[in-house]
Structures are given as structure tokens and as C-alpha cells.
Structure 1
């Protein structure tokens, strides 16, 4: 169920991941390539294009899903299911890792993330479904445990800077379908 427009949640931005290359390509049995991650204190988001420096930045095929959100609470659930403590949230390869946000509830709504460095408005689009690589990079069973908890793909509706630390998530109105 989508939150009411005008709802605000205090959240914490734990990680701002910029990844210039894919790491999980091919067959999981072959193992990942070099996992290139840049966990930044601050990122620049460009309207309709994504996060500057990220592998999906400005790619037309990914315009409606240029930025991914992930709730660390989802990974804590996975950790409990697979029996492995302290799973690294960066291995899920989501751009914005938040604590305190009901990420799934943001699907189909417009929302703004306000941080000390600035704010960006997003349209919550489709789920960021996990893949079989989760069983390789985390533990057997992680892929299944992460189903329905893999995060959300979003379109940036405004440009701005975001920073790690305390933030506020403001929920707006429902969004129209993504352009094709």
C-alpha cells in the first residue's frame, strides 16, 4: 500500500554506491568479475540520467530505472535467513542504501530525498529484483530470501546532490507510467 502524499520519514543514507562497470555478468558458477564499487560521501544526480559516474548514467535503456534504492533492513532479513551476519550491502549493487525507509511502498509514487548536501525528487518505478548472483556473493539461499526485498528502480525527476547521513524522505503523489 502506497503511503499518503505528504508523509515524511526520517531515514539515514548509509551508502551512496557509484559503480562504473558491471561485475555480475555471465554465469554465477564462473564467479564475479572485478567488483568495482565507489562508496561515496556525496553524489551528483542528474534529472532523467542518473548518478554521475555510474554504469547506468545517461543510458537510454535505463532512463526509467537509472537509480536503485535499497533498505538495509532487507539485507538484515536475508542475513538472518542464511545465517551469515554482517552481509555487505554494497554487494547488492544498489545505489542508495537507506535505513528506515519502506522502499517497496515507494513504487508508483513520487518522492523526495532530502540530505545535508541537497535534495532530489524521484519517481519510484519497478522492483529491483535480485538475481542468482546473490547466492554467490552472499550465501546459498540469499537469492530466494531477497525476493520481494531487492529494492526499487527509480527515475530522477530533478538534479541535485545527495550525501551520506541523516535525511528525510518526503512522499508525493502517484506517478504516471514511465515513458517507453
Structure 2
């Protein structure tokens, strides 16, 4: 029997990936310097993640491949952290 996944009715404003980990595997060492890259489109692979991202095939069926949050949350964080909020 095939699993039915819930649908998500939203508009994706931005997609960001990073090719490498800046903190995982760096215990006791300085963080890495992998950049966060905005992409216009991405290949989403069920059970594996976003192609090209550091978490792609990280672990079998890893549940942290992608995070969605509202643009209002991003704007609020920028305001609270005194950031420009420009993406």
C-alpha cells in the first residue's frame, strides 16, 4: 500500500542549499566556510533530500532534509537580529 502524504498549499519564495557542513564534524575545531547558496530550482528526492545539499544522502531516510517557514518569521528574525532582511 502506498503512503499518502499531506499536501502543502504554499508559495516557495527562496530555496537555499549548502554543499558542505560548517558545524557537523568540526567539534573542537573552527566552523567550516561553506557558503549558503540560493537556487532557483532544485531536485527533491524522496527519502534522500535536496540534490546538491549537504544533507543529501546524509543518512538513510534522514528527517532533516528540508525546513519550511513563513516569510513573516524570516522578517521577524531579521528585525530582532538587526539584519537587513535582504535575500
Using the size of structure 1 for normalisation, the TM-score is 0.36
Q: In structure 2, what is the equivalent of residue 160 of structure 1?
A: none
**Mapping of residues 72-87 of structure 1, within 5 Å:** 72-82=71-81, 84-87=82-85
Kindly tell me the number of residue pairs found equivalent between the two proteins: 79
Contact 1:18–1:53 (8 Å) recurs in 2: yes
Contact 1:56–1:62 (8 Å) recurs in 2: no
| C-alpha RMSD over aligned residues | 3.0
- Counterpart check, 1:51 vs 2:46: no
Looking at secondary structure, tell me which structure has more strand per residue: 1
Structure with the larger RCO, 1 or 2 (CA within 8 Å, 6+ apart)? 1
Q: In structure 2, what is the equivalent of residue 68 of structure 1?
A: 67
| Cα distance in 2, alignment partners of residues 8 and 51 from structure 1 | 17
Looking at secondary structure, tell me which structure has more helix per residue: 1
| Cα distance in 2, alignment partners of residues 35 and 73 from structure 1 | 26
Contact 2:19–2:34 (8 Å) recurs in 1: no
Using the size of structure 2 for normalisation, the TM-score is 0.65
Structure 2 regions of 5+ residues with no counterpart? 1-5
Contact 2:15–2:40 (8 Å) recurs in 1: yes
| Cα distance in 2, alignment partners of residues 62 and 7 from structure 1 | 19
Shift of the 81–47 alpha-carbon distance from structure 1 to 2, 3 Å rule, reads: same
**Mapping of residues 129-148 of structure 1, within 5 Å:** none
Structure 1 regions of 5+ residues with no counterpart? 1-5, 90-180
